[in-house]
């Protein structure tokens, strides 16, 4: 009987060591988020267009609100919502066209994930709409769950139509 208890205990310990990390890996976590011009953008505009990119962390409530927000309204000078968001804004121009990185050790992540319960990043780019048909690519929603990304870096490019995710995302099962 004693051997059976030990066997069951060992089995439970082994099972918990496999299942516990799997459960924890879905929790939101910080990443290095790299932003930069895509070469096609520079070729199309023949310059480095002046744009700003807002990176906003959102919990489920803010996510629903921001998903409904039109980009032109979001960047409107009278938009009080944009002013009130805890965000990081990155500026790109002819004079400053180097890639920008929101590093995973930036203190903003503590506020976003630990204090605000953020589960997603929403990126907004202030570019004119490239035609009225199709999806508006000037907004990009990214999950922060640890089981959605292969590594610690998420790369996003600025393209003529908006933003394009370069890092493959792992589909949710």
Whole-angstrom CA distances from 25 to 17, 29, 34, 67, 173 are: 13, 9, 22, 25, 13
pLDDT, position 46: 77
Chunked mean pLDDT (size 10), the chain, 173 residues:
51 43 70 93 78 96 94 93 93 92 96 94 91 85 95 94 93 71
Which residues, at least 6 apart from 17, have a Cβ–Cβ distance to it below 8 Å? none
Write out pLDDT tens, residues 16-29.
444 444 444 689 99
CATH 3.40.190.290 fits 25-165, yes or no: no
Q: Where are the domains of the chain?
A: 25-165
């Amino acid at each position: 009987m004693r051997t059976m208890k030990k066997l069951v205990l060992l089995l439970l310990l082994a099972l918990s060591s496999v299942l516990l990390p799997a459960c924890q890996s879905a929790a939101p976590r910080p990443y290095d988020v790299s932003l930069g011009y895509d070469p096609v953008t520079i070729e199309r505009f023949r310059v480095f267009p002046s744009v700003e990119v807002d990176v906003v962390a959102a919990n489920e409530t803010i996510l629903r609100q921001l998903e409904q927000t039109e980009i032109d309204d979001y960047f409107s000078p009278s938009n009080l919502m944009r002013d009130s968001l805890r965000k990081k804004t990155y500026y790109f121009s002819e004079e400053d066209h180097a890639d920008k990185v929101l590093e995973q050790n930036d203190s903003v992540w503590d506020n976003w994930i630990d204090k605000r319960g953020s589960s997603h990043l929403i990126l907004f780019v202030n570019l004119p709409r490239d035609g009225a048909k199709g999806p508006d690519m000037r907004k990009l929603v990214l999950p922060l769950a640890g089981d959605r990304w292969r590594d610690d870096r998420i790369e996003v490019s600025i393209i003529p139509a908006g933003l394009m995710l370069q890092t493959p995302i792992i589909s949710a099962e």
